[in-house]
Amino acid sequence: MRQKIDIINMYFVNAPFFLRWCYPEVVFNKSRTEKKVYLTFDDGPIPEITPFVLDTLAYYDVKATFFCVGDNIRKNPSIFERILADGHQVGNHTYHHLRGWDTGDATYLKDIQACQELTKTDLFRPPYARAKKSQLKEISKHYRIIFWDVLSGDFDLNLTPEKCFRNVVRYSRNGSIIVFHDNVKAMPRLSYALPRAIAYLQERGYTFSLL
């Protein structure tokens, strides 16, 4: 069995089959026939953190997709502009990083639209991967909803940087969508795991593509 769940923190490192069955409108991975992977980053743009990610991607000549929080774009417009200028892709991650399960549909959709005015994208990822079926049904009319099949766990304060790296390299395969976070909490693990994971995958013949 490839899928693994962190029982204490209740998140899946590798998306199991039943999540795919529950959420047919969601993209968990891309084609398994090509030796490509898809790096994604959630929660930015954040000073120091997002520039570190952008510098790392530039060093390895890799493109990625940034699921941005609207309020962070408002606070850090120059970093957002650099994401675009560097040739990366952006996605909508709501304006206030809302948890859909705890938010009424009308409020949630309005928050997405506020972010969309800044991102102007066809990609959406719900924060925490927590959105109601009713919300996803409406969102899918306007966006490609992107989840993942490899979650680095960089947000997990109990995870070592080495384990974060191992999560990525153990479960990545053709078509994998990999999640890191360009936020302050993730930085101790992100700074260790990201460059090593990119180098490891490149050495094994993977290319990095946009969604």
What pLDDT sits at residue 6? Answer: 38
Alpha helices in the chain (DSSP H): 17-22, 49-60, 70-75, 77-85, 105-119, 133-139, 161-171, 187-203
The mean pLDDT value for 75-86 works out to 98
Look up residue 72 and give its DSSP letter. Answer: H
Confidence of residue 5 (pLDDT cuts 50, 70, 90): very low
The mean pLDDT value for 162-183 works out to 98
Q: Residue 191 in contact with residue 165, Cβ under 8 Å?
A: no
Q: Between the CA atoms of 140, 141, 144 and 146, what dihedral angle is there, to the nearest 10 degrees?
A: -10
CA distance 183 to 165: 17
pLDDT in tens, 117-154: 999 999 999 999 899 999 999 999 999 999 999 999 99
How crowded is residue 194: how many other Cβ atoms within 10 Å of its Cβ? 28
Q: Residue 4: pLDDT above 50?
A: no
Tokens standing for residue 61: 């000549």
Residues noted as catalytic: 42, 181
What pLDDT sits at residue 24? Answer: 82
3-state secondary structure of 202: helix
Cβ-in-10-Å burial (0-12, 13-18, 19+) of 69 comes to buried
What pLDDT sits at residue 196? Answer: 98
All domains of the chain in start order, with CATH: 17-208 (3.20.20.370)
The mean pLDDT value for 87-97 works out to 98
Confidence of residue 94 (pLDDT cuts 50, 70, 90): very high
Identify the H or E element spanning 98. Answer: none
Q: How far is CA 116 from the centre of its chain?
A: 17
